[in-house]
Structure 1
Amino acid sequence: MGLLGETKPVKKPILGVSLYPEQESMEEIENYLTMASRYGFTKIFTSMFSVPGTKKEVFDYFKNFCDLAHKHGMKVSGDCNTAFFKKMGASESDISIFKEMGIDIIRMDLPYFDQRDVTLINNPYNITIELSSCMIQAVRMALENGANPKNFSTCHNFYPERYTASDLESIRSINKELANLGIPSAVFISSNEDNTHGPWPVHDGLPTVEDHRWIPAELQVRHWIAVGDVDEIIFGNAFASEEEFKAIDQVMNEAYVNIPKLVGQDYLAELLPHGDVERVPFKVILDDGVTDLEKEILFDNVYHQCGETPYYMIRSRWTRMFYGKKSIPERKIDEEYYHRGDVVIVNDNLAHYRGEVQIVLKDMMVDGQRNRIGHIPEADHILLNEVKSGRGICFLK
C-alpha cells in the first residue's frame, strides 16, 4: 500500500473448515456447513482416503458430500494419496472420477517429485492441485517443468500432537517464497472448543504453528493477517463453535474495509488512502476516564496508518491531521513510565502532534505530552512485532 492515495489491491484470505466424514453424520455436517457459510467460510478440507467402503460407496458418499457443500457455496479440497487414486481407478493423467464426484481441489498428501506432478496440475478438468507447502522443492520443480501456476496451490500441515507443530519463522519463510512464486498458501488454525477432533482420536487442537495451539481462534486469525503472505486460513479441527465464527467474522469485517475517496473536503482528506484496505485489528482495554473525543479518535477514525519503521512506538500518522485542532487536555497518571502495549494519544502539551495515536513498544517516560487511553492485552502482543511501516491498524470496540 502506498503512503498516499489509492491503495494497492488487497487480497482477503479465504476462510475454511475441516470435516472428517468417518466420524461425523451427514446431519452434523450439514448443520456445521450452514453455520460456517453464514459467517463467510467458503472452503472445506476433508480426508478422502480415510472413508471406508468400496469404490462405488466412496464415490456415492463424496458425490453427496460435494453436492451439499456446493449448495452452501463452498469448495471441497479432498486430501488424497496415490493409494486412494488406485482404489478409485484414477491416475495423474486421468482424474475424471474426481470431476464426477464434484471435488474442486485435490490435496496430494505426497507429490510425485517428477513430471507426473506437472501432468496432474495441468489437468483438463479445472481441478486445482494442492501440494504440501513444506514440499517446496516439489513446488519449484513443478513450476520449472511447466506446471500452470493458475491451477496450483499449497497447504501447510496441521499437528495433532502437542509440541510438534512448526515455528512461525519457518512458515513465514516458506510463505514468502511461495508468494514470490505466485503460488497461494493455506494454514490451519485451531478451535479451542472441548472435544474437537481431527482424523485421529487426539483432542489437543490442529494448528500449523505451535504457539497458536491454545490461543483464541480469532487471535490466530488476527496474527495471520498481521504476518501476511497467507491466502487461506482453515480450522483444522471440528467442530468450531458459533462464538468462534462470530468473533472471526468481526475480525474480518474490521480488517478488510473499503474507504471512499473524499473529494471537495480539506486537502488532507483527499490524501487519505482509499479503496480496499487491510487493517491489523488490535483489542484494547480502556483506562477509566477516557473522554468521548479520545474514544472517537481511537475507534471511529477510518484508518490508522503506521509511520516510519517503529522503534519506541507504532504511530498513527493520520489522526493528528484530522484532530490536531481539537483540545485534548492532559490527563495525569501516577506512573513513571509507559510500558509495551500501552495506547496513548498526544495531548495539548505537544500541540503540533496533538491527536496522534501511538502504541508503546518500549518503556517511555511519562512526560505529560500524552494521555494513556488503555493498553493492548498481553495475548495481543504477538501482533506488535508484525506491524511495520505503512501497515494499517484498527482497534476493536
Structure 2
Amino acid sequence: MKRKLGISIYPDHSDFASDKAYIKKASEFGFSRIFMSLLEITGEKKEVIAKYQKLTKLAKELNYEVILDVSPTIFNLLGISYDDLSFFAELGVDGLRLDDGFDGKKEALLSYNPQGLIIELNMSNDVAYVDNILTYQANKPFIYGCHNFYPQKGTGLPYDFFVKCSQRFKRNNLHTAAFISSQSGKIGPWSVNDGLPTLEEDRNLPVEVQAKKMFATGLIDDVIIGNSYASDGELKRLSLIDRYQTELKIDFVSDINEVEHDIALNNQHVRRGDINEQVIRSTEVRKKYHSFSNSPHDNEIEFQKGDVVIGNNGFGKYKNELQIVLKPHKDNRKNLVGHINTDELLLLPFIKSWSKFKFVC
C-alpha cells in the first residue's frame, strides 16, 4: 500500500487561521492525511457543521484524506444515528475513526454505508476485534485501522505489544496508521499533553526518527503527527525521509576519500541474504568499485556498533565492500568512513536479510 504522512487538527482547541496555515504548510511538504478530532466538541449541531466544513473544504482542495475521530458520546450529543452517516458526509470527511467498538456485526454493516465513508478501527487492543468484524463479511476496502496516541508520559504502548496489535490488521491486508509526536507541538485533545505518540519508547525522539521506525516495521502505512503544531523544521525533515526503505543518517570521518563517499551515498545498498551477527554487509558495491584503489586510513581502531566501514586495498576481493558494524571488533583491512547517528541506531534491527537501505548525511 502507498504510504502517507499526516497531521492532526483539534478545532475545539485552536483557531481557524492557525489550522489553515498549518494545513497549507504541511501540504507543501507532501503531507496528505488529516486526523481531526470530534471528541471534545462544544456548541450546537449547526455550529459544529460550519466549523468543521471550513477545514475539510480547505483540506479537500489540497487533496488530503480526512478521518474524523468519533465516539458514541458524540453521536448521542449531536443526535446522530449509526444507521445514517449523512451528517459526516455533509462535513466533507472521508471516514470515521471509531474510538470505541461495537459487536463486530455493527462495524461490518457500517462499512457498507451509502456515503462511502471509511470506517477506521482502534488498533491498540490485542483482541480478536478485527477478525470478528471481518467474520461478518465487512467491506474490506473501507475498513482501516489506526492506533491510539497517549498524552500522558509513561502510558504509551510497549513495542512488542504494538507489533502484536498491528499484525492482527496487517495479516488481513488492512490499511494501518499510527502516531508520532512533535517535540514542539503543544495542542492535543486533552489538558495533559506530554506529547502524542503511539509508542512510549519513541516519545522523546526526533520526529523523523520516530517515522523512520514506524515505516521500518512494515506494519504501518500512514504515520501521523499526533500533536499540533509541528515546526516547519519537523515537517521538512519528515518530508525528506524514504517511506519504503530504511534510511540512515551518517556522519562521515574527516579522512573519507572520494570513492568511499560515493560508495556510501550514491548506491542502493542491500543486506546480503546469508546474514551474520557481526556486520551488515552490502556486497554488490564491491563489484562495481573493484577497480578503484582504496588506501588504508582510520583502520587501527576497534570498530563500534553503528560504525560504517569499507574494505581497503588490503582486503583482497572484499575491497570496497561496505559494512555496518553490529558488534565491536578490530580489522585493519577495513577503513572507518562514518558513524550512524546515535538516535538512529534503533533502526539497525530492521535491516534484515535482503533488506534495502541507504545513507543520508
Query: Normalising to structure 2: TM-score of the pair?
Result: 0.96
Could you say which residue in structure 2 is the equivalent of 1:330? 296
State the alpha-carbon separation in 2 of the partners of residues 208 and 114 from structure 1.
24
State the alpha-carbon separation in 1 of the partners of residues 191 and 77 from structure 2.
25
2:262 aligned to which of 292, 296, 319:
296
Could you say which residue in structure 2 is the equivalent of 1:129? 119
State the alpha-carbon separation in 1 of the partners of residues 208 and 303 from structure 2.
27
The CA RMSD measured in Å over matched residues stands at 1.4
Could you say which residue in structure 2 is the equivalent of 1:371? 335
2:180 aligned to which of 162, 186, 189:
189
Cα shift at 1:66: 1.1
> 2:246, 2:350 within 8 Å by CA — same for their partners in 1?
no
Cα shift at 1:334: 4.2
2:157 aligned to which of 166, 169, 189:
166
| Residue correspondence of structure 1 range 5-84 to structure 2 within 5 A | 11-84=1-74
| Residue correspondence of structure 1 range 346-357 to structure 2 within 5 A | 346-357=311-322
2:282 aligned to which of 316, 321, 338:
316
> 1:158, 1:207 within 8 Å by CA — same for their partners in 2?
yes
> 1:14, 1:231 within 8 Å by CA — same for their partners in 2?
yes
Cα shift at 1:83: 2.3
Could you say which residue in structure 2 is the equivalent of 1:267? none
Aligned residue pairs total 359
Could you say which residue in structure 2 is the equivalent of 1:112? 102
Could you say which residue in structure 2 is the equivalent of 1:274? none
Runs of 5+ consecutive residues of structure 1 not aligned to the other structure: 1-10, 257-277
1:97 and 2:63 aligned: no
Cα-to-partner distance string for 1:12-68 (whole Å, 9 max, x where unaligned): 421110111111111001100010001111111111131211111112222222112
Could you say which residue in structure 2 is the equivalent of 1:343? 308
Query: Normalising to structure 1: TM-score of the pair?
Result: 0.87
> 1:310, 1:388 within 8 Å by CA — same for their partners in 2?
no
1:216 and 2:186 aligned: no
1:150 and 2:114 aligned: no
State the alpha-carbon separation in 2 of the partners of residues 280 and 343 from structure 1.
15
> 2:181, 2:227 within 8 Å by CA — same for their partners in 1?
yes
State the alpha-carbon separation in 2 of the partners of residues 12 and 338 from structure 1.
38
State the alpha-carbon separation in 2 of the partners of residues 139 and 203 from structure 1.
29
The aligned amino acid for 1:218 is E
Runs of 5+ consecutive residues of structure 2 not aligned to the other structure: none
| Residue correspondence of structure 1 range 240-259 to structure 2 within 5 A | 240-251=230-241, 255=242
> 2:6, 2:34 within 8 Å by CA — same for their partners in 1?
yes
Distance 1:12 1:151, change over 3 A: closer
Cα shift at 1:201: 2.0
> 1:90, 1:96 within 8 Å by CA — same for their partners in 2?
no
The aligned amino acid for 1:161 is Q
> 1:304, 1:394 within 8 Å by CA — same for their partners in 2?
yes
Aligned structure 1 segments of 4 or more residues deviating by more than 6 angstroms: none
State the alpha-carbon separation in 2 of the partners of residues 249 and 183 from structure 1.
24
Cα shift at 1:332: 4.3
| Residue correspondence of structure 1 range 264-283 to structure 2 within 5 A | 278-283=244-249
Task: Determine helix, strand or coil for the equivalent of 1:67.
Answer: helix
